[in-house]
Amino acid sequence: MSSSARTRMLRRAAAEIRPGMVVNLGIGLPTQVLAHVPANLPVCLHSENGIAGVGPVREGAAADRNLIDAGGAYVSTVPGASFCDSATSFAIVRGGRLDLTLLGAFEVAGNGDLANWIIPGQFTPGAGGAIELAQKARRVCVLTTHADKSGRSKIRKRCELPLTAPACVDRIVTDLAVCDVTAEGLVLTELADGVSVAQVLAATDADLIVPEGAIPTF
Amino acid sequence: MSSSARTRMLRRAAAEIRPGMVVNLGIGLPTQVLAHVPANLPVCLHSENGIAGVGPVREGAAADRNLIDAGGAYVSTVPGASFCDSATSFAIVRGGRLDLTLLGAFEVAGNGDLANWIIPGQFTPGAGGAIELAQKARRVCVLTTHADKSGRSKIRKRCELPLTAPACVDRIVTDLAVCDVTAEGLVLTELADGVSVAQVLAATDADLIVPEGAIPTF
Amino acid sequence: MRLPDKTATMEAAIAAIPDGATIMLGGFGVPGTPFCLIRELVRQGQKDLTIIKNDANETGMGVDWLLEAGQVARLIASHIGLNSRAVRMMNAGEIEVEFAAQGILAERIRCAGSGLLGFVTDIGLGTRMARGKTEVTVEGRTGLLETALFADFALVHADRADHFGNLCYAAAARNFNPLIAMAARRTIAEVETVLPLGALAPEEVHTPGPFVDQVIALPELPEVYGVVQR
Amino acid sequence: MRLPDKTATMEAAIAAIPDGATIMLGGFGVPGTPFCLIRELVRQGQKDLTIIKNDANETGMGVDWLLEAGQVARLIASHIGLNSRAVRMMNAGEIEVEFAAQGILAERIRCAGSGLLGFVTDIGLGTRMARGKTEVTVEGRTGLLETALFADFALVHADRADHFGNLCYAAAARNFNPLIAMAARRTIAEVETVLPLGALAPEEVHTPGPFVDQVIALPELPEVYGVVQR
């Protein structure tokens, strides 16, 4: 993936964040979306280790030893931030107060199934907060490269890995396209600039519904 | 009950409060025990509306509109007090952090059953915190006049009123005596000054075990 | 990024409440009761309400205004002994009253606010509080299943807040307020002092802003908030 | 009345922990981890411990010291991915690891601390996290029964405390600390600054003193508490 494709994907993901939302950015690619959120957007970033109102990353001498996000990065807070314990933090998630989460994926299926926490025999670190984020955020947007490093499509007919949560994903944003999980199936809704429908279809294992007419680009 | 008998009873009840304890004083007679607790005793008074470290009652201009105890009295706090929400306050009770509660009674039975919250058809205001205090304090001491206003014994073979909690009472302190609930039954352990064993037996509906030898007085 | 502004007017906030709504009210006695929001609810006159509150206040204040106006169909509480009208209306069948042990009421509200379905407790076993409840065995111990208690609206009284809805409560006025703030589809907070973002230290916030939908600054405190003279 | 004094020495507090004990540790990563209490536990060498903590810290700190010393038989956590030793020992069968979803772990600990038996949640339905769990239906909705998680000892790190054990936590160092402080038979707090009674405002206390048994003032903070340089 080129640097410009990566930036385009991150910018497109940032556009998922709407004014007034409480948002949790998962570890990995989603965290990088932060740099593309407009400075003046009214939004509250949540971190599951007990922060509402996460601000920009802090490095070196500016870091506070007691202030990390759930990914372990030293962060700051914005004015009006608050801290809470881990039970209250997940009450925000499970209680319906988290409007959006952006999550990474190992695999995501056309029916919205998500696998992003375990690769049996290879990667078994525990789920952390992923299960609750995936299952309970009001809106779940997966942000991932369309293919894994070996070129295998991450957008699958069915997930083969153990699920994080079934039927939880609303939208998938990749370096190639935006796809929405609908009652009819997975729908191609946007194309990355310079990418063709045929390229996306070739890169996607899941069945993909291509709407008639022009498809918007990002 | 004479004023001196009342004072004697309250003083005896105050002696149940030992150094280091977290204590909840129920509404009514138990609240009056406060005046008989030594000023320097290391103890934490809990109120179920979310106070750990209740201090003396405040009246008139000294009252804080936001600071009442569970009985509705304006109170103060001692240095080192804290406030918490109602769920946390009852976590202290149910979680085993409340060492002692002194509770009033309509009826208390020889097996430790307590009825102090409802008189069907007459008095049905709801249980408030009584059920959890009775069931979960590490030690439950009932403080009550031996007889009700009509002269009927409150210390019963069995409670006829609906129970607050079954088999929850450890000790009963009255104007006449102190009785302990034991595996063998209800045992007379102390007599009020000037009260005879015969008087206590006559005033008690429950079967009462009278130990051999001299019985201490209070 | 900056945090959203949730300040609102009392009239509009309460106007969103329809007839038949389930409403949680903060407060244990006077402290923490949202009297101004209740007064506005009386003025607007929504009917057939289910009210969830620790108590029914005393005669002549708070919940009693709603009872007097005939707006309440159902009351879920732990203790209503200080309100003789509530007791009389209950006994006359004019309102339906459901009692819960006080800490169980608190916990059922928090359970809803935490996105859980219910919990299992031994509180009430062997008493009439167990009637009609399902028994569940947990690792060999028997308990009663208590269900999460949700509301459409939570009306909260806070001492201090910021524009994002971070709330701080005074002394024993905290009580049920942080719990109901979590458990409603919409949480409306009346606030004695509204401060700019950043004026509350992040460590001192009692209810984090994400739980709160609307913040209403109280212009003045009516006498009912004061010390009750008996 | 005055509130009891709970200040204690670290050596005596940790010496009360027997072999085979179940110990909860605060902390999410570095912030809130009671490194000094863990170091003393390593020095005293109690064996066959069950450790309950969100994570296993990173290699070379905290939980990792206990793993390296062979003191851990069982670990209950939500995520151990930053500690390769923990993952290796789990895969080699040298320690038993039980995983819970992070918020469910927090809630199971709070459930014990609140004197409840368990709770019902739909979290994990349709995934392997549901394996072996009992299904319970609550008002027509199916959930999984999660059990209260108790410990013999909770080791907590606080920023400020008073002699009675009222605790305040700094920033994101709060995390699991207030929850584990509720859920153990004995709660031991190491504290950066111990203040006299009354120095903490009653409204700002995060963990009320009744939950805490022993308060240990840290004389100095070892480097491990600092910002991790990667």
The three-state (H, E, C) secondary structure of chain D, written as one string: CECCCCECCHHHHHHCCCCCCEEEECCCCCCCCCHHHHHHHHHHCCCCEEEECCECCCCCCCHHHHHHCCCEEEEEECECCCCHHHHHHHHCCCCEEEECCHHHHHHHHHHHHCCCCEEEECCCCCCHHHCCCCEEEECCEEEEEEECCCEEEEEEEEEEEECCCCEECCHHHCCCHHHHHHHEEEEEEEEEEEECCCCCCCCCCCECHHHCCEEEECCCCCHHHCCCCC
Average pLDDT, rounded, for chain A: 96
Residue B49 lies in a domain: yes
Residue B78 lies in a domain: yes
C-alpha distance from C176 to closest chain D C-alpha (Å): 15
CB count within 10 Å of CB B120 equals: 9
Region A95-104 average pLDDT: 98
Residues on chain C touching B166 (C-beta within 8 angstroms): 125-127
CATH number of the domain that A49 lies in?
3.40.1080.10
Q: Are D101 and D54 in contact (CB under 8 A)?
A: no
Per-residue confidence band for C57, with pLDDT thresholds at 50, 70 and 90: very high
Average pLDDT, rounded, for chain D: 97
- Between residues C143 and A123, the one the model is more confident about: C143
| Percentage of residues of chain B with pLDDT beyond 70 | 100
Question: Which chains share 3+ C-beta pairs under 8 angstroms with C?
Answer: A, B, D
Residues on chain D touching C136 (C-beta within 8 angstroms): 117-118, 136, 145
Could you report the per-residue pLDDT of C87-146, keeping only the tens digit for each? 999 999 999 999 999 999 999 999 999 999 999 999 999 999 999 999 999 999 999 999
Residues on chain A touching D170 (C-beta within 8 angstroms): 66
Look at B127 and C176 and tell me if their CB atoms are within 8 Å.
no
The answer, yes or no, to whether residue D230 has pLDDT greater than 90, is no
The confidence score (pLDDT) of residue A69 equals 96
Region B78-90 average pLDDT: 98
CATH number of the domain that C96 lies in?
3.40.1080.10
The confidence score (pLDDT) of residue C1 equals 81
As to burial, measured by CB atoms within 10 angstroms (0-12 exposed, 13-18 middle, 19+ buried), residue B165 is buried
Per-residue confidence band for C150, with pLDDT thresholds at 50, 70 and 90: very high
Report the length, in residues, of chain D. Answer: 230
Residue C81 lies in a domain: yes
Look at B53 and D112 and tell me if their CB atoms are within 8 Å.
no
| Percentage of residues of chain B with pLDDT beyond 90 | 94
Closest-CA residue of A relative to C210 is A97
Structure tokens at D129: 């996290």
Chains A and B: 3 or more CB pairs within 8 Å of each other: no
Per-residue confidence band for D6, with pLDDT thresholds at 50, 70 and 90: very high
Nearest to A30 by CA among A100, A92, A111: A100
Structure tokens at C107: 């916990």
C143 close contact with B: CB closer than 8 A: no
Region A129-155 average pLDDT: 97
Residue C128 lies in a domain: no
Closest-CA residue of C relative to D143 is C117
CB count within 10 Å of CB D9 equals: 12
Look at C4 and A45 and tell me if their CB atoms are within 8 Å.
no
The confidence score (pLDDT) of residue B123 equals 87
Per-residue confidence band for D154, with pLDDT thresholds at 50, 70 and 90: very high
Look at B127 and C101 and tell me if their CB atoms are within 8 Å.
yes
The answer, yes or no, to whether residue C230 has pLDDT greater than 80, is no
**Which active-site residues of A does the annotation give?**
48
C-alpha distance from C2 to closest chain B C-alpha (Å): 29
Minimal Cβ distance to C119: which of D120, D168, D169:
D120
The answer, yes or no, to whether residue A123 has pLDDT greater than 90, is no
The confidence score (pLDDT) of residue C229 equals 81
Structure tokens at D64: 């990792």
Region D200-225 average pLDDT: 97
A126 close contact with D: CB closer than 8 A: yes
- Between residues B34 and D183, the one the model is more confident about: D183
**Which amino acid appears at position A63 of this protein?**
A
Residue A41 lies in a domain: yes
Residues on chain B touching C78 (C-beta within 8 angstroms): 126-129
Region C56-78 average pLDDT: 98
The answer to whether the pTM exceeds 0.90 is: yes
Paired residues of C190 in beta bridges: C157, C216
A57 close contact with C: CB closer than 8 A: no
The answer, yes or no, to whether residue A167 has pLDDT greater than 90, is yes
Look at A77 and C203 and tell me if their CB atoms are within 8 Å.
no
**Which active-site residues of B does the annotation give?**
48
The confidence score (pLDDT) of residue B28 equals 87
Residue C142 lies in a domain: no
The answer, yes or no, to whether residue A2 has pLDDT greater than 90, is no
Q: Are D77 and D83 in contact (CB under 8 A)?
A: no
**Which amino acid appears at position C30 of this protein?**
V
C-alpha distance from A37 to closest chain C C-alpha (Å): 7
The confidence score (pLDDT) of residue B148 equals 95
Select from A85, A93, A106, A124 the residue whose CB has the most chain D CBs within 10 Å, as the one to mutate to test that interface. A85
C-alpha distance from D85 to closest chain B C-alpha (Å): 35
Euclidean distance between CA atoms C137 and D164, whole angstroms? 37
Minimal Cβ distance to B44: which of D115, D200, D210:
D210
C-alpha distance from A129 to closest chain C C-alpha (Å): 14
Q: Which helix (H) or strand (E) holds B186?
A: strand B185-191
CB count within 10 Å of CB C212 equals: 25
B64 close contact with C: CB closer than 8 A: yes
Look at C121 and B94 and tell me if their CB atoms are within 8 Å.
yes
Residue D142 lies in a domain: no
Paired residues of D50 in beta bridges: D22, D74
The confidence score (pLDDT) of residue D117 equals 98
Report the complex ipTM.
0.98
Range of the structural domain that residue D26 is part of:
10-115+149-217
What residue spans of A2-150 are helical by DSSP H? Answer: 3-14, 29-32, 86-94, 130-136
Nearest to B79 by CA among B61, B58, B59, B52: B52
Per-residue confidence band for A34, with pLDDT thresholds at 50, 70 and 90: confident
CB count within 10 Å of CB D35 equals: 23
Minimal Cβ distance to B79: which of D115, D197, D203:
D197
Euclidean distance between CA atoms C164 and C215, whole angstroms? 8
Look at A52 and C210 and tell me if their CB atoms are within 8 Å.
yes
Structure tokens at A45: 């970033």
Cα–Cα separations (whole angstroms), residue A91 to A49, A96, A163, B64, C112: 12, 8, 22, 32, 9
C-alpha distance from C154 to closest chain B C-alpha (Å): 16
Q: Are C208 and C173 in contact (CB under 8 A)?
A: no
Look at D115 and B95 and tell me if their CB atoms are within 8 Å.
yes
Select from D123, D142, D224 the residue whose CB has the most chain A CBs within 10 Å, as the one to mutate to test that interface. D123
Structure tokens at B62: 């000294």
Number of domains in chain B: 1
Strand locations in A166-213 (E)? 171-173, 177-182, 185-191
Question: Could you tell me whether strands C167-168 and D118-121 are parallel, antiparallel, or unpaired per DSSP bridges?
Answer: unpaired
B129 close contact with C: CB closer than 8 A: yes
Select from D58, D75, D127 the residue whose CB has the most chain A CBs within 10 Å, as the one to mutate to test that interface. D127
Per-residue confidence band for A1, with pLDDT thresholds at 50, 70 and 90: confident
Look at D103 and A127 and tell me if their CB atoms are within 8 Å.
no
Residue D141 lies in a domain: no
Cα–Cα separations (whole angstroms), residue A73 to A26, A39, D179, D196: 12, 20, 23, 35
Region D113-142 average pLDDT: 97
Region C209-228 average pLDDT: 96
C-alpha distance from C28 to closest chain B C-alpha (Å): 7
Range of the structural domain that residue B83 is part of:
3-175
Helix (H, G, I), strand (E, B) or coil at B201: helix
Number of domains in chain C: 1
Residue C228 lies in a domain: no
Residue D124 lies in a domain: no
Euclidean distance between CA atoms B204 and C5, whole angstroms? 66
B18 close contact with D: CB closer than 8 A: no
Report the length, in residues, of chain B. Answer: 218
Q: Are A25 and A33 in contact (CB under 8 A)?
A: yes
Region B80-102 average pLDDT: 98
What CA dihedral angle connects D120, D106, C188 and C117, to 10 degrees? 0
Per-residue confidence band for A28, with pLDDT thresholds at 50, 70 and 90: confident
Minimal Cβ distance to D78: which of A65, A126, A136:
A126
The confidence score (pLDDT) of residue B154 equals 98
Residue C89 lies in a domain: yes
Paired residues of C74 in beta bridges: C50, C96
Euclidean distance between CA atoms A26 and D79, whole angstroms? 14
